[in-house]
Structure 1
Amino acid sequence: MKTFVSFESDFPHEGDEGRPPGLELAQYLYEGLRNAGFQISGPQNREDWAWDFLLDKNGYQIETVVGYVNDSPIQWLVATYVHVSFWKKLYMNSVQVQAESALQNYCQVIHELLSGGEFRAIRWYEQIDFDNNDTDKWAASP
C-alpha cells in the first residue's frame, strides 16, 4: 500500500527556533482529516524537524508525519504509518484488517486534500521503496 506522499506546494516552509517548517500544512491536513471524521490528535512538534498527528483506535494507531524535505520534486513529505500491537496481530486478525482498511481510507482523504490547485508533483510511494531511495516507483494516487 502506498502510504508516503511527496509534493510541491506554496505553503510556508520557513520554521523558527523550536518550531519546524510545515505547521500551516500540518494544520490544513489535520483539519481536513478531522472534517472527514477521523478522531486524531495533534499536530505536535516532532523533535523540531516535522509535525505529527495520531489516530488511536481500539487495537491500532495511525501515525502521520509532515515534514519539509526540499529535494525537488520531493519538497514536502507526508509519511503515514499504521501500528498494530503484536498481540492484536497474533490473536485478532480482524484488528489488522480494520487497521489496513482505515489506513487506506485515511490516505485517500489525504489524497483528496492534496488534489487542490496549490499542490503539484504529487507522488505516492510504498514505504519500502521510499526508504530504499527507489523513488522511481511512484503512483499518482495511493
Structure 2
Amino acid sequence: MTGLIQRVKRASVEVEGNIVSEIGKGIVVFIGIEKEDTEKDAQYLANKTVNLRIFEDSLGKMNLSVKDAGGEVMVVSEFTLAGDCKKGNRPSFDRAMPPEEAEKLYRYFIEALKNTGISVKEGVFRSYMHVCLVNDGPVTFIINTR
C-alpha cells in the first residue's frame, strides 16, 4: 500500500462539478492499494499518517503531528500509485488490487483514521475527481507499507 502524503493549507474534491469534500489545514493522503495489501498495511499507514510529525511547532521545527496541530485528513483513492512505469512508456496497473477488494481496504483505512479521533473527509472511490489543494511548504512524503 502506498500513501502519498501532502501537508496542506486547504484542499477540496470535486465530482461532476460539485464539491463533495473539503478540509482546512491538514493532510491529504492519496492512497494506492496493491494486490498483496492487507488490513495490517492499512492500519500501519493510518497510524503513520496520524502520528507523522510534519507540522511546525512554536520554534519552527517539524515536531507536531496532524492531530497535535489540530488539522484534518482528507483521503483520496488513487490506483495510479500502484502503476509500474519501468517498462515502456505506458504504465502497467497489474499490481493494483481489483476495485471491489480495494474499496474494502480503503474503507478500513478511513475507519482506522477516524478511530484516532481525527476529522477525516474523503473523495469518492472509483470516481473521476478534481482535487484542489494548496501544498504547505511544499511538504510531501511517500510511504510504502512494504
TM-score > 0.5 by shorter chain: no
- Structure with more contact order per residue of length (Cα contacts < 8 Å, sep ≥ 6): 2
> Which structure shows the bigger proportion of residues in helix conformation?
1
Q: Name the TM-score, length of structure 1 as normaliser.
A: 0.31
